[in-house]
Amino acid sequence: MNKEKDIIILGIESSCDDTSASVIKNGYLLSNIIAGQKVHEIYGGVVPELASRAHQQNIIPVVDQAIKQAGVTNEDITAIAFTRGPGLLGSLLVGTSFAKGFSLATGIPMIEINHLQAHVLAHFIQEHNEPYDPPKFPFLCLLVSGGNSQIILVKDYLDMEVIGQTIDDAAGEAFDKCAKVMGLPYPGGPFVDKLAKEGNPDAFQFSKPRIANFDYSFSGLKTSFLYSLRDHLKENENFIEERKADLCASLQKTIIEILLDKLIKAAKETGIKEITVAGGVSANSGLRQALVETAGKYRWKMHIPKFAFTTDNAAMIAITGHFKYLKGEFIGMDAVPFARMDIRV
Ligand code: KG4
């Protein structure tokens, strides 16, 4: 049986195309199993119906493996934390329904988790034999993923405010859509990152948005990229193949500049120098390097999470569950998933 002092949270994540389960004990990671879905690759993007079917196939083995690898039993688990949203409704339904079934069968209470809050709180996952230097409140988080580009003011574990966000595409979408027109596989972000290392970032200029406050926009960049390709292809049909590395390097440089301009502005205006980054795009090597350089220039304390905790994973769901458990925030069987969800919920 679970000793009273141990808080053991089972986290379940199924908001998009990764099925993941994790066990965290007293804030320390015991397991984090992630099953990706290759089925979407040939379509150049996530197909929602296929995603939910794959989640259904994966969820039981993934949870089983997470519990076994953690060396705990069902009776040891204090609470089940599951992603309630935002995300693809069909995908979220699988995780939510599984959490309910598991809770009904075992009597273990449930905690609903906001996926965006969880990305931010990934910085608080502790690992045995690993350094732990979490950000101090208040801090700013640049959350950049396939579905979001936001600047979040984090006042406490569960007290966050979005102070800037994209008004159209997310940064990850800009990477993926531009990669697609260059014929790169999906998701294109990591391929652009790799090719950019061999290219000249100043080879091409693409348009940057001019919008107010801390908000982002990436649709103009995407169009500018497309038009540039179209014009060059008229003169040279091998243009993309011949200049792929330069195109990737220039595209990546522009996306990083757009992201950093607003982050610098937000840091200046709020006076906050404790800065973090989260979400899949934070795996980008150019962005990581630029963040470190910018942090040096503006004397920020920069926190960049481990790669495994930047993309979708259940460890971040479990650690958020840990903090919600401490506040006694549980949810009942009437919980339904939300495709859209404010970060404050
Ligand atoms: O947070 P995440 O795993 O999930 C979703 O938002 O669905 O982010 C996925 C996004 C994709 O757009 C992917 O292309 C991008 O993160 N990404 C990258 C890199 N690794 C993943 N973008 C640029 N460079 C990378 N190295």
Q: Which domain holds residue 42?
A: 8-130+310-326
To test the pocket of ligand 1, the residue of 14, 20, 46, 145 to mutate (highest count of ligand atoms within 8 Å of its CB) is 145
Kindly give the distance from the C-alpha atom of residue 311 to the centroid of ligand 1, in angstroms, as a whole number.
7
Quickly count: other Cβ atoms within 10 Å of residue 297's Cβ.
9
To test the pocket of ligand 1, the residue of 116, 149, 175 to mutate (highest count of ligand atoms within 8 Å of its CB) is 175
Q: Residue 219 is encoded by which pair of tokens?
A: 């649709």
For the entire predicted model, the pTM comes to: 0.94
Question: Is there a domain that residue 341 lies in?
Answer: no
* Shortest-distance atom of ligand 1 to CA 173: 12
Mark whether 113 and 157 lie in a shared domain.
no
Nearest CA to 18 out of 71, 63, 69, 54 is that of: 54
Residue 344's pLDDT is 73
Residue 16 near ligand 1, beta carbon < 6 Å:
yes
Mark whether 90 and 204 lie in a shared domain.
no
Q: Residue 303 is encoded by which pair of tokens?
A: 């926190």
Question: Is there a domain that residue 109 lies in?
Answer: yes
Mark whether 223 and 198 lie in a shared domain.
yes
Residue 4's pLDDT is 62
Residue numbers of the chain with a pLDDT score lower than 50: none
To test the pocket of ligand 1, the residue of 32, 277, 311 to mutate (highest count of ligand atoms within 8 Å of its CB) is 311
Residue 5's pLDDT is 82
Mark whether 115 and 175 lie in a shared domain.
no
User: Quick check: bond before 138 cis, omega within 30?
Assistant: yes
Residue 196 near ligand 1, beta carbon < 6 Å:
no
Mark whether 266 and 175 lie in a shared domain.
yes
Residue 311 near ligand 1, beta carbon < 6 Å:
yes
Residue 3's pLDDT is 53
Residue 147's pLDDT is 86
Mark whether 146 and 294 lie in a shared domain.
yes
Kindly list the strands in the beta sheet with 110-114, ordered across the sheet, starting from the edge strand earlier in the chain.
28-35, 19-25, 8-13, 79-85, 110-114
Mark whether 196 and 93 lie in a shared domain.
no
Point out which residues pair with 241 in neighbouring strands: none
206-218 pLDDT, tens digit each:
999 999 899 999 9
